[in-house]
Amino acid sequence: MEPVRTLVSAAQSRLARQAFCSEWIRALVPLAILIAVLALISRVVGSWWPSMADSGKGLPIALAAALGLAAVWALIAARGGRLGALAAASILDQRLELRDRLSTAVALQARTDVFAKAAVEDGVRCARDPKVRERMSRALPYCAPRRWWIGPSVLGLAVVVWAFVPVASFSKEAAAESVALAAAKAVSNDVVTEVVKRIEQSPELSGTVAPTPTSGDAKIDPADEKSLTPDDIRRDAMRKVAQMERKLDEVLVGEQAQELSALKDALSRMDAPKEGPGSELAQSLKRGDMVAAKKALDQLKQDIETGQLDESTKKKLEEQLQDLAKQLSEAANSKDALERALAESGLDKNLANNPEALKRAAEAAKHLNAEQREALMQALKAQQGAAGKCQKLGEACGGMGKSAGGSGSSEDLKAGAKGGDMLSELESMEQMLQSASECKGSCTKANKALGDGMSGSCNGPGGTNRGRASGERAAPEATATGTKLRKEKVELQDGEVIARQLIEGPPVVGESKRTLERVAGDIGTGSEEATDDDPVPPRLQEAHQHYFGELKKRLEARMREAAPAKDADSAAPKPPSPAGGGA
């Protein structure tokens, strides 16, 4: 019987696998139709429900769920409908035209009569036949069920719809929203591009300030791009512009700016001659106009080299340049800016003369935070840089003076040339700071323009008066509610306002009969109780004590004045004065 069992078992397995495949494909049809319907719905409702329309998320999940569900269903159905040995043998008999030998053997295997045994032997002989085994795989082929193509086709259609059909926009609001989105993108792009272009005009700034592709605090996720609103686009652009503005701020208050500022501050205190060949240079330096200073220096250098100056002029020039060199050397030693910074930080301003001690003091100062310490160090560096530049300018002027007097060497003339380079450097630094300042202005304007276009602005679509920058007070707008105003007919009656009576009680009317003494007592007690219940802040304690102390003094003084009068009244009765006992 074993050959029959083996053969039938193999047939059962093949039939079970075939049933699984058939059920899977069959179950896929309704699920595929469901996904197709969902795909269509997603195209319709996608404008209101962006996450559903997103093919990158919803589609793979839906496909995986459909295939998984179909597989689970097929597994359950195949297990539930698994054929028994008799049924499988019967199918095999019919397909192989075995005249029910196998199924009869399976059905009669337990019987012991001779005819049953003979029938079972027939089945066994049949099962042993190699041709039968060979034919079995052909008789039970794995074949797709009828109309197997429906499920995959519908599924493919759903994928195409989901992935390639655009989301429909049926409402005017959605259309307007998409137009607003496009406009916001265009405006934001234009504004940011303009600012970047403005920054890139200055080579010194473009490297440090212009945004890089990886810069930005928070970038918009491309997956969320479909769910963006115009405000989000503008907000993102504002973020970029603000970032550039912050960097520009850093440049404007940075080391170079401080250095230039310190230098100009030192130069401004020089005593510049108003006349003479060196006056132009001195005046330019005093004004802090590096361009004019360079021009004047170059002119003097040319005059000296060409020998166009007469002796008296040369002498005068030598004197003025030597004087300028002396003043510049003195300016190099000026540490006013650093001293101010030290004073603001609560440190001894004498530390400006000893950088090492300043560093140690700054590190040791517990009341300074890291940023303050860094600012101090920056001020120190700026002062040192400015001093160095002053020194070099002074040397250049000195050298030029010597050359003008004829006592100078070629080295002195070279020193004058170096002064020109120094001025060029300062000029470019000034220009950079000027550009940074202008760019910052552009950033501010750009942010304002972007902010004006947002929905909170009065210019934006559907905007309100909130956020108006003009400083005017926005007119109140009625809140849309279901409240209706109507005038009721009521009878007016004389009497107190009910609400006031309920809160304050009946109003006290008439002349006060309270004595000043009692009022003073109440004030004193009341102030003490109030102080106990709610402690007065330390900064107000003095004022508090002064106020109530003064009040008490005045009341006591008033009472002392009133007491003799009272005594006199008691001795000679007088009609009561309305103000006599009143507070």
Q: Residue 154, Cβ neighbours under 10 Å: how many?
A: 20
Q: What is the spatial distance between Cα 76 and Cα 87, in angstroms, rounded to a whole number? A: 19
What tokens were used for 510?
A: 């008439």
Cα 33 to Cα 26, 55, 66, 148, 303, distances in angstroms = 12, 17, 10, 14, 95
Q: Which of 33, 40, 43, 122 binds other proteins (CB under 8 A)?
A: 122
Q: Tell me which long-range contacts 537-542 makes (C-beta under 8 A, separation of at least 24).
A: none
Between 89 and 241, CB nearer to other proteins:
89
Between 19 and 238, CB nearer to other proteins:
19
What tokens were used for 529?
A: 């109780």
> Interface with other proteins includes 81 (CB under 8 A)?
no
Q: Kindly give, in sequence order, each residue whose CB lies less than 8 Å from that of residue 228, ignoring residues fewer than 6 positions away.
A: 181, 220
- Using CB under 8 A, count the residues that bind other proteins: 23
Cβ at position 119, least distance to other proteins in Å: 4
Q: Which of 75, 81, 121, 543 binds other proteins (CB under 8 A)?
A: 121
Mark 525-544 as b/e (b = at least 16 C-beta within 10 Å). Answer: eebeeeeeeeeeeeeeeeee
Between 111 and 566, CB nearer to other proteins:
111
Q: Kindly give, in sequence order, each residue whose CB lies less than 8 Å from that of residue 225, ignoring residues fewer than 6 positions away.
A: none
Q: Kindly give, in sequence order, each residue whose CB lies less than 8 Å from that of residue 461, ignoring residues fewer than 6 positions away.
A: 176, 180, 455
> Interface with other proteins includes 341 (CB under 8 A)?
no
Select from 87-95, 227-235, 247-255, 472-480 the region that touches other proteins (CB under 8 A). 87-95
Cβ at position 93, least distance to other proteins in Å: 8
Restricting to residues 534-553, name those near other proteins by CB under 8 A. none
> Interface with other proteins includes 91 (CB under 8 A)?
yes
Residues 464 and 458 sit within 8 Å (Cβ to Cβ): yes
Residues 188 and 220 sit within 8 Å (Cβ to Cβ): no
Restricting to residues 169-208, name those near other proteins by CB under 8 A. none
Cβ at position 134, least distance to other proteins in Å: 22
Cβ at position 125, least distance to other proteins in Å: 11
> Interface with other proteins includes 107 (CB under 8 A)?
yes
Q: Which residue has the tokens 């059962």?
A: 12
> Helices 311-332 and 255-268 sit at what angle, rounded to 10 degrees?
130
Q: Residue 22, Cβ neighbours under 10 Å: how many?
A: 20
Q: Which of 115, 164, 222, 308 binds other proteins (CB under 8 A)?
A: 115
Q: Residue 481, Cβ neighbours under 10 Å: how many?
A: 6
Cβ at position 163, least distance to other proteins in Å: 45
Cβ at position 117, least distance to other proteins in Å: 5
Residues 19 and 81 sit within 8 Å (Cβ to Cβ): yes
Select from 113-121, 317-325, 383-391, 542-550 the region that touches other proteins (CB under 8 A). 113-121
Q: What is the spatial distance between Cα 449 and Cα 453, in angstroms, rounded to a whole number? A: 7
Q: Which residue has the tokens 């009680």?
A: 505
Rounded to 5 degrees, what are φ and ψ at 115?
A: -65, -40
Between 74 and 98, CB nearer to other proteins:
98
> Interface with other proteins includes 51 (CB under 8 A)?
no
**What is residue 270's DSSP assignment?**
S
Q: What is the DSSP string of 26-46?
A: HHHHHHHHHHHHHHHHHHHHT
> Interface with other proteins includes 110 (CB under 8 A)?
no
Between 94 and 407, CB nearer to other proteins:
94
Cβ at position 97, least distance to other proteins in Å: 8
Q: What is the spatial distance between Cα 375 and Cα 380, in angstroms, rounded to a whole number? A: 9
Select from 33-41, 97-105, 264-272, 334-342 the region that touches other proteins (CB under 8 A). 97-105
Residues 456 and 230 sit within 8 Å (Cβ to Cβ): no
Q: Which of 71, 108, 150, 187 binds other proteins (CB under 8 A)?
A: 108
Between 14 and 392, CB nearer to other proteins:
14
> Interface with other proteins includes 559 (CB under 8 A)?
no
Residues 205 and 199 sit within 8 Å (Cβ to Cβ): yes
> Interface with other proteins includes 164 (CB under 8 A)?
no
Q: Which of 61, 80, 112, 114 binds other proteins (CB under 8 A)?
A: 114
For residues 246, 251, 254 and 257, what is the CA-based torsion angle, rounded to 10 degrees? Answer: -140
> Interface with other proteins includes 86 (CB under 8 A)?
yes
Q: Which of 9, 13, 51, 94 binds other proteins (CB under 8 A)?
A: 94
Q: Which of 103, 284, 457, 527 binds other proteins (CB under 8 A)?
A: 103
Residues 122 and 4 sit within 8 Å (Cβ to Cβ): no
Q: Which of 87, 150, 519, 583 binds other proteins (CB under 8 A)?
A: 87
> Interface with other proteins includes 72 (CB under 8 A)?
no
Q: Which of 79, 99, 197, 269 binds other proteins (CB under 8 A)?
A: 99
Select from 107-115, 168-176, 510-518, 537-545 the region that touches other proteins (CB under 8 A). 107-115
Closest among 273, 279, 177 to 233, alpha carbons compared = 177
Cβ at position 122, least distance to other proteins in Å: 6
> Interface with other proteins includes 9 (CB under 8 A)?
no
Cβ at position 90, least distance to other proteins in Å: 4
> Interface with other proteins includes 69 (CB under 8 A)?
no
Select from 118-126, 380-388, 435-443, 557-565 the region that touches other proteins (CB under 8 A). 118-126
> Interface with other proteins includes 119 (CB under 8 A)?
yes
Between 82 and 445, CB nearer to other proteins:
82
Half-sphere exposure of 486 (CA within 13 A, CB side): 5
> Interface with other proteins includes 139 (CB under 8 A)?
no
Q: What is the spatial distance between Cα 417 and Cα 411, in angstroms, rounded to a whole number? A: 10
Select from 61-69, 104-112, 264-272, 486-494 the region that touches other proteins (CB under 8 A). 104-112
Q: What is the binding site for other proteins (CB under 8 A)?
A: 86-87, 89-91, 93-94, 97, 99-101, 103-104, 107-108, 114-119, 121-122
